[in-house]
Amino acid sequence: MAQQRPNRGRIARTSHGVRRVWPFVLMAWERWQSLTPQEKERYKRHARDYADRGKRVIESRRGRPR
């Protein structure tokens, strides 16, 4: 079976989106690099807490009718 190639429109939209978001990614990376190790750990802890809370909400709603 031949593999389909993405159409040029999709590639153009993706590359346009990447060019638009790149400055924000770069700013976030520079900010992350400027944080102290303690601040980085605090951010990581918050991210883990948010992820755990989200998992708990999903588990509590699983099986419920929508």
Q: How confident is the model at residue 63 (pLDDT cuts 50, 70, 90)?
A: confident
Query: Could you write out the three-class secondary structure of the chain?
Result: CCCCCCCHHHHHHHHHHHHHHHHHHHHHHHHHHHCCHHHHHHHHHHHHHHHHHHHHHHHHHCCCCC
Say whether pLDDT at 1 is over 60. no
pLDDT mean across residues, the chain? 88
Q: Decide if pLDDT at 55 tops 80.
A: yes
Specify the pTM.
0.59
Q: pLDDT of 5-28, one tens digit each?
A: 657 788 888 888 889 999 999 999
Domains of the chain, by residue range, sit at 10-61
Q: What pLDDT band is residue 36 in, cutting at 50, 70 and 90? A: very high
Residue 39 half-sphere exposure toward CB, CA atoms < 13 A: 6
